[in-house]
Amino acid sequence: FPEMLSNPRLIPVQGTLNVVMNQNVSLSCHSDSGTPPVRYTLFKHSQKISTLNRPDLTPGLFNLTINSASDVGEYKCKAENNISSGGKYSKSLNFTLKEPISKPVLSSPTSQAKEGQNVTLSCLSENGSLPITYMFFKGRQSISPPVKMQKNEAAVIFLFINSSSDFGTYKCRAENSFRNNTKYSNSFNFTLAEERSHSQPLIISLVLILLLFIIGFALAIPFFIIPSYKASE
C-alpha cells in the first residue's frame, strides 16, 4: 500500500557543523520510510535553495559553499511524495562559522607606574570565533591561568608592582578552536613614574616670594630717592 513519508533528517555529510569561510559542504536529506519517488527541497530560512528528485529512498545530497556569514543561517529540508499533503519537514540546523583570531592587542590604562602600585593589563582580539582563550606573560613566563572569554570582550588581569623587576616586558597570547592559529600580542612595558620631591613646592614658593620682594623694592625706590633729592635742594 502507498505509504506517507517519514519526517526527513537533515545532517551534514562531513559530520560537523563547524565550518570556515569558502568551505564546500554537503547536506543529506533523507526520509527513512515512505513510498517513492521522493522530492527533496532544501530551504535556508524560508527561501528555497534547491530541489532534488529521487526514484527511491536514497538521500538527497545538497552541495553548498560558505561564502559569507549569511550562509551559516538556519537550514531545513522538505520531503514529498505523491500521497503526502504538504510534505514533511526536517528539524533545522545551523552551521557555526569558525573564524581565525586576529593579533591581540595588549594595553593598560596607564603606561607609568611606581613601586607599590596596582595596575591592570587588558588583552583583546577584535576578530575570531568564540570562545577565545587568553594567557598573559612577562618575558617567557606565564603570569596568569588561561582566561576563556565567551563574549567579544577583553581579558583583564590585575598586577601589583612590587619591585623594579616588575617593569619587564609583558605580552599576551590568544587562541580559539581554529587549529594552528595561536597569536601573540605586541609588547608592553611599564615605565617608572617620576616622584616629585617634597622640597620642590617649597623652593618654588621661596623663589616667588623673592621675586615679589625684588619687584616691590624696585617700585619703592622712586618714593625714597625723590623726597631725599628735594630735601637736599
Instruction: Name 89's bridge partners.
Output: 78
Instruction: Name 30's bridge partners.
Output: 9
% of the chain surpassing 70 pLDDT? 89
Would you state the torsion angle of the CA atoms of residues 42, 21, 129, 98, taken in this order, to the nearest 10 degrees? 70
Query: Does position 151 have pLDDT exceeding 90, yes or no?
Result: yes
- Mean of per-residue pLDDT scores for the chain: 88
Mean pLDDT of 198-218: 70
The radius of gyration of the chain's CA atoms, rounded to the nearest angstrom, is: 38
Query: Does position 69 have pLDDT exceeding 90, yes or no?
Result: no
Least confident of 66-80, 136-150, 195-209: 195-209
**Is there a contact between 199 and 207 (Cβ–Cβ < 8 Å)?**
no
Cα separation, 178 vs 174, whole angstroms: 11
Q: What is the pLDDT of residue 197?
A: 46
User: DSSP for the chain?
Assistant: ---PPPPPEEEETTS-SEE-TTEEEEEEEE-SSSPSPEEEEEEETTEEEEEEEESSSPPEEEEEEE-SGGGGSEEEEEEE-SS-SS-EEPPPEE-EE--PPPPPEEE-S-SEE-TTEEEEEEEE-SS-PSPEEEEEEETTEE-S--EEESSS--EEEEEEE-SGGGGSEEEEEEE-SSTT--EE---EE-EEPPPPPTTHHHHHHHHHHHHHHHHHHHHHHHHHHHHHHHHH-
Query: Does position 192 have pLDDT exceeding 90, yes or no?
Result: no
Q: What is the pLDDT of residue 9?
A: 97
Of 59 and 207, the structure prediction assigns the larger pLDDT to 59
Query: Does position 200 have pLDDT exceeding 60, yes or no?
Result: no
What domains lie within the chain, and their CATH numbers? 9-97 (2.60.40.10), 105-192 (2.60.40.10)
Q: What is the pLDDT of residue 50?
A: 96
For 83-140, the pLDDT digits (tens) are 877 899 999 999 988 889 999 999 999 888 888 899 999 999 999 988 999 999 999 9
Residue 169 exposure: Cα atoms within 13 Å on the Cβ side: 5
Cα separation, 118 vs 77, whole angstroms: 57
- Model pTM score: 0.59
Q: 217: part of which helix (H) or strand (E)?
A: helix 200-232
For 178-189, the pLDDT digits (tens) are 878 899 999 999
